[in-house]
Structure 1
């Protein structure tokens, strides 16, 4: 089992980075690859996921994210891609807040999470996340809203890019509309707002 990889970032793609270690390039799927910088030195805490037809390496910038990812994989119906999406949309503390407070509204804003999966996450994980337990100050509504807002941003930008819009343009559109978006908005509603902004130029 590969526990961590330390090396230089040689490539950054939409869902993974390539880290060189002594002449070997490791493709590591991770949340928010663009948080990293080309040619920087990084330490990635990893999970080696093996299936019958594939082997993938998933990586995280902290032990906390690594532990939460592994907890998520224990939940029926949550695969590695969904787990990475959850981590990309929030952070371990705010996600734990939503689980502890059984906030289905916030959880269903996360990529790939419907109501049934949100209920399963609460059932399977509530009280079982001591490794990523929050400070007492991290239990308010604002931290949960951050999960939802970040998820809406992620999904809206992904939807825009699927329509042929560049990542940079999707980022600019989001910056123009984010003040109009609330945590209760659906992705479809936000996408319509984004397309309206696009047509207005």
Structure 2
């Protein structure tokens, strides 16, 4: 099992990134590849999940161990494959997903691509009570969910990078133009969170 890859981030593509380590380029399929934009041509550590099937081997990459752990849990849910698990991670945070599972919020879960009522119910049956430890303590929020304040310049850059990431996912210039002011008026900690917020807004339309 390859737990993580550390090396220079050399390529960012629509669906993956390539990290060069010791002369080997590792292609890592990611939920939001462009969220790694700030680390391009720099050394980076990416947590990985080595997916093996009879006809396929692939490495999936994640910024946080919590994202990797949730991806692994989702693969154990009947009807959820790697593509579906990545769609969940691209659209929400671990905390919001766990909250939805614990509250049995089927309406929230069925917003994800390819997730109908039957699959949402299966997620709840399989995962409820097994992820609650990932929720932060209300009085002492852990570093897993810590968010630093961005300057106005950093926020603007994060919004633009998020829009680029969504463009790579297939959204049109017209859709992104309408979305830009909504993202600009929101306050998030990083590009990942802006992408998730943007996807959530698109799913509501």
State the TM-score, normalized to the length of structure 2.
0.71
2:27 is matched with: 27
Of 95, 98, 109, the residue aligned with 2:97 is 95
> Is the Cα contact below 8 Å between 1:73 and 1:80 reproduced in 2?
yes
Which residues in structure 2 correspond to 1:1-201 (within 5 Å)?
1-37=1-37, 38-136=40-138, 157=166, 161=170, 165=172, 170-176=175-181, 187=203, 190=205
Query: 2:96 and 2:70 mapped to 1: Cα distance?
Result: 12
Query: 1:25 and 1:131 mapped to 2: Cα distance?
Result: 35
Deviations 1:61-118, CA, capped at 9 Å, x for gaps: 1111111111111111110111111011111111100000111111111222111111
Query: 2:168 and 2:15 mapped to 1: Cα distance?
Result: 15
> Where does structure 2 lack aligned partners over 5 or more consecutive residues?
142-161, 186-196
Query: 2:169 and 2:175 mapped to 1: Cα distance?
Result: 6
Query: 2:87 and 2:72 mapped to 1: Cα distance?
Result: 13
Query: 1:158 and 1:114 mapped to 2: Cα distance?
Result: 25
Alpha carbons of structure 1 residues 62 and 186: separation in structure 2 relative to 1, 3 Å:
closer
> Where does structure 1 lack aligned partners over 5 or more consecutive residues?
139-152, 191-201
Residue 160 of structure 1, CA deviation: 8.3
Alpha carbons of structure 1 residues 81 and 160: separation in structure 2 relative to 1, 3 Å:
closer
| Aligned-residue CA RMSD (Å) | 3.0
> Is the Cα contact below 8 Å between 1:31 and 1:85 reproduced in 2?
yes
Query: 1:160 and 1:4 mapped to 2: Cα distance?
Result: 25
- After TM superposition, which residue ranges in structure 1, 4 or more long, deviate above 3 angstroms? 157-160, 176-179, 183-187
Alpha carbons of structure 1 residues 86 and 158: separation in structure 2 relative to 1, 3 Å:
farther
Q: Which has the higher contact order (CA 8 A, sep 6+)?
A: 2
Aligned positions, number: 167
